[in-house]
Amino acid sequence: MPVLWQKSARLPLAAVLGVFFVTLLSGCASQPKWPDSFDSTTLLTEVPFHPQKKYQCGPASLAMMLNAQEVKVTPDELVDRVYLPERKGALQVEMVAAARQYGMLVYPLEPHLESVLEEVQAGHPVLVLQNLRFGWWPQWHFAVVIGYDRAARSLILHSGTEERYRQPASAFMATWNRSDRWARVILPPDRIPATAEPLRFLMAAHDLETTQQTASAKTAYKTASEAWPDQPAALLGLGNIAYQQGKWSEAENYYRTLTEKFPHISAGWNNLAEALARQGRDKEAAAMLEKAGHIKAVQPDPTS
């Protein structure tokens, strides 16, 4: 019996292994191609520079990112928030969390050189994580991309103790690849990153909502609802924030707009019913709940 099982499993397994190795082989990297649309030199001169102290590239980089958005903070003040002495470094998740504590929206960039360059071109410095050594013996390093030079095919970074350090694109890509191309833009919630995609931006706004940065989250949802009127989550977010603050009629208004603009989204009807019930309008609430149930019956959710 075990022999039979092995035999029949061999064929697809071989196929899987074959596909896997083809994928691996095609992964051999070539020289990075410089994207055509960035043909000049750009330098964000207003981004201040803080040279890092021993191992503390995290706090220094984060301070530069925040200072660029007119948040007054020094690397020393950030050390307690993001620096882990026993690891001699900071973790990405803490860098992001600390930026949110200052009410900033942290937007994760698509893992492409174009995205980084586009943000810089739009005047937004980019926080990147690099691995300066090897995958099996890493030396993680945070730096801030503040410009690029097409002629020299270089990126310009505030990195470590080097101000306006010019790093060839090939070296940048090699070190950035080893961090899975981690890159973040940190902006006030009323501004939209140049490469922003509606859902990603809304998820970043939702991260502010869940980390109790309610005022910032509200601003971010408002910004999103104006920039992308076709996104229902922005209205739902605004309604949910009002609901959580106990502002039932404000929540009702947002939910009502949501149901008018996006009648096929059951969450709108459901939450509207809740907001009405909280105001003691049980009859109206029941009618809305019925509508929510009707939509669910029409469009079965494949995940449930």
The answer to whether residue 270 forms part of the interface with another protein (CB under 8 A) is yes
Minimum Å gap between C-beta 213 and another protein is: 14
The answer to whether residue 26 forms part of the interface with another protein (CB under 8 A) is yes
Cβ proximity to another protein: between 199 and 286 the closer is 199
Cβ proximity to another protein: between 29 and 93 the closer is 29
253's tokens: 């208004």
The answer to whether residue 43 forms part of the interface with another protein (CB under 8 A) is no
Q: Which of 15, 43, 215, 286 binds another protein (CB under 8 A)?
A: 15
The footprint of another protein on this chain (CB under 8 A) covers a number of residues equal to: 41
List the interface residues with another protein, window 98-127 (CB under 8 A). 111
Cβ proximity to another protein: between 11 and 151 the closer is 11
List the interface residues with another protein, window 194-253 (CB under 8 A). 199, 202-203, 206, 209-210, 232-233, 236-237, 240, 243-244
Q: Contact, 119 vs 195, CB < 8 A?
A: yes
The answer to whether residue 286 forms part of the interface with another protein (CB under 8 A) is no
Q: Which of 48, 24, 30 is nearest to 169 (CA)?
A: 30
Minimum Å gap between C-beta 199 and another protein is: 6
Cβ proximity to another protein: between 37 and 45 the closer is 37
Cβ proximity to another protein: between 153 and 206 the closer is 206
Binding mask 165-194 for another protein (x = CB under 8 A): ---------------x--------------
3-state helix/strand/coil string of the chain: CHHHHHHHHHHHHHHHHHHHHHHHHCCCCCCCCCCCCCCCEEECCCCCCCCCCCCCHHHHHHHHHHHHCCCCCCHHHHHHHHEEHHHCEECHHHHHHHHHHCCCEEEECCCCHHHHHHHHHCCCCEEEEEECCECCECCEEEEEEEEEECCCCEEEEEECCEEEEEEEHHHHHHHHHCCCCCEEEEECCCCCCCCCCHHHHHHHHHHHHHCCCHHHHHHHHHHHHHHCCCCHHHHHHHHHHHHHCCCHHHHHHHHHHHHHHCCCCHHHHHHHHHHHHHCCCHHHHHHHHHHHHHHHHHCCCCCC
Q: Which of 67, 167, 175, 271 binds another protein (CB under 8 A)?
A: 271
Task: List interacting residues with another protein (CB under 8 A).
Answer: 1-2, 4-5, 8-9, 12-13, 15-16, 19-20, 22-23, 26-27, 29, 111, 180, 199, 202-203, 206, 209-210, 232-233, 236-237, 240, 243-244, 265-267, 270-271, 274, 301-303
